A and B are shown apart, each in its own frame.
Chain A
Amino acid sequence: MANTLKELEKILNLSLNHKVTMHRKLMMYLLCLILAASGILLLLLTAIGRPLKAEMQITQAMENQLSSVSDKVSEELDTYTGYGLQLSRELGQNIEDYLDEKEMSVSDLNDRPELLLEIQKMMYSELNTTIRLGRSSGAFALVNATINTQIPEAAQSRCGVYLRLINVSSNVILSPETILFRGNTEIANENGLELHNRWNMELDTGELPGYETLKESSAQPEPGYYWISRMNLKNTWEDVILLLIPMYTETGEFLGDCGIELNAVHFGLEYPAAVSPYGSMITAIAPVEKGNLRLDQGMTGNTEGSWLGNAESMSIIAENTNYSTYRSSKCDYYGIQKPLDIPGSSGQDWAVAVLIPRESCDRYILKNRACMMGIITGFVLIMIALAWMLSKKFVRPILQGFQDIRNGQESGDGKYSFSELEELYRWLAERGKTPEAGELPPNMADLFEHFAQNVKTLTNAEYNILRYYMNGYEVSQIPTAACISMSTVKKHNGNIYRKLEISSNEELMMYLDLFRRCDLIEKLQLDVKTDISEAETDK
């Protein structure tokens, strides 16, 4: 661990010590600015862009659709229930009156085909009216008696009429054509009806869950009706859910049942798949069992644009704050559901749901995300390009200036946009100026000037001695040449050293040598130079 930290530290030091170009460094600063700007952009999008969030949009669309279809389903089922209850009241009363007139009970109708035909005629009239007014795909009624108690199926065979629409796709026309699914052929002949391809004379109560319980019970159950979950109409291709309403006499005797059919095709046509950018929104009503949406027992609207089968059970595999994920046999769906207030045949809770194929939703979310990413990426790329250009433009004159200096150019001539650069150039030009021929460097000139000025402070005697030195005499030669004693020479030497601010004969000799080499020896003059000329002449 310690080694790793050390390694990291080394790498960090190396990177910190690494010399970067001015352009690169400037670029880094600008990139930092871009990142900061991107962060602000993201924050803004997050703050003001809630509606842009795909998940929220999908949820909102599903909630709107659910609200709409839920109202419609409730209204439609309420309508069916209303017409069904009306049917049961009218028909129950008619049958009761008929029985009273004949002074018979329901069971007395068994094996009385002529009386049962009369009752079927009553039923036909009421059912026909109910279908025309209620716009259901079918309606039925049965009385608790059979035309022939001797047949093996007599226990479950009950006399009645079941009318169905021939074509549910155009059920809103004024006089929809009906077909006789169950009932006496006389009813068909009298009313010009076709027999259904799978017609039977009577209804099979084995296909009506709960019928036997109703038959045994003398008290009308609450709320007086229930919905039978999805079932296939025997030997046909059609599935239905049925509203079943028992009929009782005033004394509580069970007369039979009547009800209304909600056909799967009809439901599909009534609830088309809503086209949305997120995929088809499919409507379903179904019992809910252990968290599963039992579409196999409910109704599914048009499934256009999805692989959803009409009769599948869907389990909820994930729930989040927005919507749930449902799994069918083939695909996953996103959806939401809410309870539907209808009584089920075995106390089931029903729900209405809106489902969207997960594939299309995910694609939309991804597309949305890609779009956002594209915008941000585009922004960043543009900013990088801008940073590149700006930094390049910024450093170009500086680098040009460096290049100019390297090339020995003497002046910026005001071509640089930075005053600092112009100043630097000027300073460098001054500093690096080459002396003219015979001209001393400034410091040397100052030095020589100072020395020459000091020479002017010498007395004539001292200057005479200096002249000997200037003419190349050694100290020992001067007493003889000047006809003075050595001690006098030494005394003058001391003064000369002091006034010329030097400390030794060697230093004096070095100065004189420099003046000589620079051809400036003649600058070492007193104001009166008589003795010097003499000295020169002497030499």
Chain B
Amino acid sequence: MKKQKPWIYAAGVLALTGLMMLTGCGGNGGKKEPVTLTVWHVYGGQTDSPLNDLIEEFNETIGVKEGIKLQVTVVSNTNNIHDAVLRAANHEPGTTGLPDMFISYPKTVLAMPDSDILVDYRGYFSEEELSDYIPAFLKEGEIDGRLVVFPVAKSTEIMFIDKTLFDRFAADTGATLDQLDTWEGLFELSKAYYQWTDARTPEVPRDGKAFFVHDYHFNYFQVGVESLGEDFFQGNKIAYGNAFSKVWEPYADAAVQGGIWLQKGYATEPLRTGESVVSVASSASVLYYEDIVTYSDNTSKPIEVIARPVPCFENGERLVMQRGAGFCTVKSTPERERAAAVFLKWLTEPEMNVRFVTSVGYMPVTEAAFKILPEVAETLEDPKYRSLYEAFLKTQSSYQFYTAPQLDNYLELEQAFEKNVRSKLRTAYSRWQDEEDVEKLKSEALENVKALLPK
């Protein structure tokens, strides 16, 4: 008789078990749960953010394929994200903790209690991949030899002009756009504009409007001094040298006489309400300029906003502040960190990067993307964006880029300087309205600014 083998019984039982288990596999559950990353970014501020749309696209395509889902929980500006990141990093009560990815300047990382909580991207990008990026942009994101701020878009300062209002002013006074090529010319026009608007209400003396608004007065002084061949910083303090005085003089002259907007807030605000005509701000602010201006009686008028390279001093070098925060990723699991790198690689592929940056007013970050940028810029529908990229390309060809140094107290200096300069000059303007002497006010304001800066 044929001998029976015991494993036949075992195999039979296992097969039966497998069959029974398979009966539980029915149903259409859908896709495997994604690795979800929370994101805080600045691309769009409170507006309908173009990056949110791209993130949605990523989630629908690569995200589905790779099992990654990005979830945007904050879109704000770098200052607000800076505050929120530092609060979360310091575990302040009431904070929700750091997101997986956030946009940050190196200054924010330097101010964090421990930057080691951030991922070094060199662990997720090969040297070959990194060689595609503009080396200076990568260099900016390195803290203590670790690449922790990854560039996805870089901005520079650009001058925006409400051309509709400028043309009205120019028609009466003969002002020209070429005068805006230099700071000296711009400040002269600022004073002239104040006089021009003041003259509209002769019954109220010195109630003119500001012509110019700068997003970061600190940047004006920093780049201005450097363009005149002097160092703005001495160690971790501001060096108040001759060049500083040269930069201060025309600026304070115009500010004390009402030509410069000195209120808090961003440069886009007074342009939107017709309170000023020209601004120097990050190229990214193009997103926040609307094509209408709303006046105090709630009437709205369409306007044309154009962009030009920032002015320079007549005897100075053509120098412009190069800005642009980058993405930081908080250390977690390799799976989550890899997911963040997948997104960043996708966002910085040349075509995608150009698509992204041209929707938010930035420059791309790879050599390949720069090559296709001019061609894409010509096809932009919005004349405001076309004008911006014309100005970008002019800036790129004729200016040197300046990057702020990585000082531990940079942020402290910047905030204190910004606040004090605006405040002291606002007071000076107020006193000028009471007809005090301009020279005296300028001098006193400078001394007050110097005195109040942190030692």
Contact = CB atoms under 8 A, between A and B. Distances in A.
Interface of A: 21, 24, 113, 146-148, 151, 157, 166-173, 177, 179, 184-185, 188-189, 192, 194-202, 235-238, 265, 268-269, 279-280, 302-307, 330-332, 357-363, 365-366, 369-370, 373-374, 376-377, 380-381, 384-385, 388
Contacts, number: 167
Interface in B273-298: 273, 275, 287-288, 294, 296-298
Given A170-B95, A265-B74, A331-B29, A238 B10 contact: no
B174 interface: no
B21 A370 contact: yes
Interface string B9-28: 11001100100110011011
Interface in B28-58: 28-34, 36, 38, 40, 44-49, 52
B80 A305 contact: no
B73 A330 contact: no
Contact of A185 (B64, B75, B296): B296
A456 to B, nearest CB: 59
Contact of A302 (B1, B48, B71, B95): B71
Contacts of B275: 185
Nearest to B265: A194
A269 B29 contact: no
A197 B38 CA distance: 23
- Which 7 A-B pairs give the minimum distances between C-beta atoms? A331-B30, A359-B29, A172-B94, A304-B36, A358-B29, A197-B46, A197-B45
A381 B10 contact: yes
B36 A148 contact: no
B60 to A, nearest CB: 9
13 contacts: A113-B296, A148-B298, A157-B298, A194-B269, A199-B269, A201-B298, A237-B48, A237-B72, A269-B73, A307-B31, A330-B30, A332-B29, A377-B17
A237 B36 contact: no
B298 A170 contact: no
Given A21-B1, A173-B94, A236-B46, A359 B33 contact: yes
Given A197-B47, A304-B71, 13 more contacts: A151-B298, A167-B74, A169-B95, A170-B95, A185-B269, A195-B272, A237-B75, A306-B33, A307-B34, A373-B17, A373-B20, A376-B17, A377-B17
B49 A237 contact: yes
Contacts of A385: 6
Given A197-B47, A236-B48, A373-B21, A166 B10 contact: no
B17 A167 contact: no
B33 A305 contact: yes
Contact of A332 (B28, B64, B93): B28
Contacts of B217: none
A173 B265 CA distance: 22
B4 A24 contact: yes
B245 interface: no
Interface residues of B, number: 65
A167 B84 contact: yes
Contacts of A199: 269, 272
A332 B30 contact: yes
A357 B34 CA distance: 11
Contacts of A332: 27-30
Interface in B68-101: 69, 71-76, 80, 83-84, 87-88, 92-96
Contacts of B34: 305-307
A480 B288 CA distance: 164
A179 B9 CA distance: 75
Contacts of A147: 297-298
A151 B299 contact: yes
A149 to B, nearest CB: 10
A189 B422 CA distance: 14
B49 A381 contact: no
Nearest to B38: A304
A171 B13 CA distance: 60
B441 to A, nearest CB: 22
Contacts of B155: none
Given A238-B46, A304-B36, A169 B74 contact: yes
Contacts of A268: 71, 73
Contacts of B64: 307
